[in-house]
Amino acid sequence: MKAKIKSFGYLRTSGKGQIGNDGFPRQRDAINRYARANRIEIVQEFTDEAVSGTLDAMDRNGLTDLFVALKANGVRMVLLENASRLARDLMIGEIILSEFRKIGVKVISADGGVDLTLGNDDPTGKLIRQILGAVSEWEKCALVQKLRASRLRLRREGKRCEGQKPFGHIPEEQKIVESILAYRKGGKSIATIAAQLNADGAKCRSGSNWHPTQVQRVIQRANKKL
């Protein structure tokens, strides 16, 4: 039997309000369904929580870690839910895809099986990428207008529009925050704390493993309250 193709998965939510909703589970489900149907093994998952799709790769911790991992091993495929998870800005999307092409990595949109990294010498592939990017850019502009209208309506009604509360707002998360602070007070490094949390089975709000950057943010927020 032919061996499975190894691939990384990439997930991104653009707003804090998406983290606790169905953003990551929906994306993960689409990626896993495509992987099962095409004999692909997802060997590692990379995520960016509440990160704008208008930022380039180096401004996203998850995407940066993904590029580092790709350059360190033989995996040459990345699955994501659709083109908008990579970038909603057409220009940013093309720039990021060009970086994947340079290292010989395919980026596949799981919702349609489209290879987003088809070379520029393929007119059809280039047209598909640009159409998908243009649609994503239009969706972003439409969403911004809807959100702005919603905020104005809430203000007129005297209501307050707030984003999602930071990690530690609910009791279950507060216990993890207390563990993080205790580990830090005991002299453990940020990376060691992240590894310990993962070993303990503690999960981020998205359900993914802890990254040192996330641990550092929790500690910084806690210090600001002191």
Summarize pLDDT for 47-85 with one digit per residue, the tens: 988 776 555 556 788 888 899 899 888 899 999 999 888
The CATH number, out of the four listed (3.90.1170.50, 3.40.190.10, 3.40.640.10, 3.40.50.1390), of the domain defined by the range 5-136: 3.40.50.1390
The mean-pLDDT minimum among 6-10, 31-35, 50-54 falls in: 50-54
The per-residue pLDDT for 1 is 66
The per-residue pLDDT for 192 is 92
What are the pLDDT digits (tens) for 75-111?
A: 999 999 998 888 877 777 887 888 898 899 999 999 9
Residue 122, CA distances (Å) to 127, 197, 202 in order: 9, 46, 46
The per-residue pLDDT for 89 is 74
The mean-pLDDT minimum among 144-158, 182-196, 207-221 falls in: 144-158
pTM: 0.54
Secondary structure (3-state) at 88? coil
The per-residue pLDDT for 16 is 53
β-strand 77-80 against 40-48: which pairing, if any? unpaired
Mean pLDDT for the chain overall: 81
- Cα–Cα distance, 99 to 116 (Å, whole number): 12
Q: Which tokens in the block code for residue 63?
A: 């995407």
Q: What angle do CA 20, 26, 28 make, to 5 degrees?
A: 105
218 pLDDT above the threshold of 70: yes
Domain-wise residue ranges, the chain: 5-136, 171-225
Report CA 98 to chain centroid distance, whole Å: 19
What is the pLDDT averaged over residues 180-193?
91
- Does 124 or 77 have the greater pLDDT score? 77
